[in-house]
Structure 1
Amino acid sequence: MITLNNGQKPMSPRHQIDILSETMFDFENLSLRNQSHKSKQVSSNKLSVHRSDIVKGYIAFLANTTAIDNKLIIEEKMDELIAERIIASDISSDGYEFTEILGWVADRCVDAAISKWFLSGNNFIGFCVAARNNFNEIKDETIETLTVQIARFESVFLNFDKKKIKVGDYRRRMVAEYFGALARFKVSPDSDVVIELSQK
């Protein structure tokens, strides 16, 4: 946890994660456009992903889970947390590096609608988990076909009762489930997709 001097304004979790992750990624040279939380507040660039979301996406990718906790990231030393996640997962057998996923996302984010969708941290984190499990299928999606699948996912997601779910957590999980089994869901009727996802 970052300790503040007396009188200092507390930093948001996003800002703390930005600071803790500065040595982990060369954010300036990532292919995916990104901004720190601080600069995002000063000059909002709508086509840039929060750096803290990239970090959370990375941890989700390593851990193969959408259950990412800001407090855990801040309180534990980030390098220890990541090392622990790498050891716990079978990362070497998956064949893709996280930077490859970021590059693929960056290539598709030239489309404004896709870029806007990935700006949601929950969509980005869920997608990172899906890519960990299914990038062989996902990587063949073009801008056009990905746009169709995002629109279809959003249509399916409208079927879930927002009063009965924690929307952010549920969205992460459903993005991971939908894109993690994209080949199957692409050929299934919407009603079947809704039923299957509602059982997850």
Structure 2
Amino acid sequence: MGESGSNFLPPEYDKSSSTVLLSNMEDSLAPKVPYSTARITHSPLTYPFPFSPGLKFIRIYFISSSYLVVNPSRAYFSVKAGPYTLVSDFNPSVFAEELNLMFFTKDFLVDVREDKLNITFTPSPLISNAFAFVNGIETFPVPHTVYFPGSKVPVPYLGHHKPLFINDEYALEMLYRVSIGRNAYKVEDENF
């Protein structure tokens, strides 16, 4: 999203939301793209992405709302992608503080069943003058067989004897990323 707006936003959103250049990020370690701007809104904001039906990856970029020119305690909002609620009553500053991060992404897999994917940011109705914001959105198609092989997949989970069956009816959020095989350890022979 640049200063002039987004190619995916209808013109009426230029009146109901604003794109802010975050000038107080000069000493920040955050990459300038996409973190140097933020789209802020006090009413629901929908990004319609044209897609063919199928599995889609969504990455939403956030920087701690303390970088914005508005009160970070009012940045409470929900994000929906089609019928799926991705986050609810979410505050990026609280999340960033808990994880000791200045900027972060939220990653999801969703099954799109229409010719478009609507991603909607809605400020919390429970907080006076609440607002929603986003620094960037990345979406792309994923081969359906990568995560959902066409049938229900049993997933064991703690404290339950029966597995949870996952299929394309669920939106999945990445909570942990594990790197396997990235660093090869060299074992050197020792002379005895």
TM-score normalized with structure 1 length? 0.25
Higher Cα Rg, which structure:
2
Structure with more relative contact order (C-alpha pairs < 8 Å, separation 6 or more): 2
By percentage of residues, which structure has more helix?
A: 1
TM-score normalized with structure 2 length? 0.26
By percentage of residues, which structure has more strand?
A: 2
